[in-house]
Amino acid sequence: MTNSTSSSPPGKVWAYGYRIVPPQTEDRLASIKALLEAEHSDARLGARTWNGRFVHEQKITHILVVSDSPDQDREVNRRLEFALKELKAGFSMTVPMAVEADEATPPATGRPA
């Protein structure tokens, strides 16, 4: 069966990141964390893969995104970039890289029935 909505072959996911300089505190990024969590929940409900996580370092904050599509012009990207601009946080985005799904995503946990 072919899934016409997916732009990746089965078993492939894409990873890309946002680089935020200077690094931001978790408190300052609370609205962005909520946005990431909401998109992850929406993706799960739609049987898609999309997850964004913060990686805090001394000189930079990263948002690592794992998605079932290399497309970086999705609504979630526009919302995320708008939120970063509202914070007046300088950022750039890396190009998406293909990753084997088994390596990139942890096993799914059971959902309540």
* Nearest in space to 54 (alpha carbons), one of 31, 73, 88, 70: 31
CATH number among 1.20.1060.10, 3.40.50.1110, 2.60.40.10, 3.30.70.600, domain 12-103? 3.30.70.600
Angle of the 30-45 helix axis to the 75-86 helix axis, nearest 10 = 170
- What pLDDT score does 77 carry? 95
| Residue matched to tokens 């978790």 | 26
The pTM (predicted TM-score) of the whole model is 0.78
Residue by residue, pLDDT tens for the chain (113 residues) are 334 344 545 568 999 999 999 999 989 999 999 999 999 999 999 999 999 999 999 999 999 999 999 999 999 999 999 999 999 999 999 999 999 766 554 544 444 43
Phi first, then psi, for residue 68 (nearest 5°) are: -85, 5
Domain locations in the chain as residue ranges = 12-103
- What pLDDT score does 100 carry? 77
Q: 45 by DSSP, 3-state: which?
A: helix
Q: How many CB atoms lie within 10 A of CB 97?
A: 12
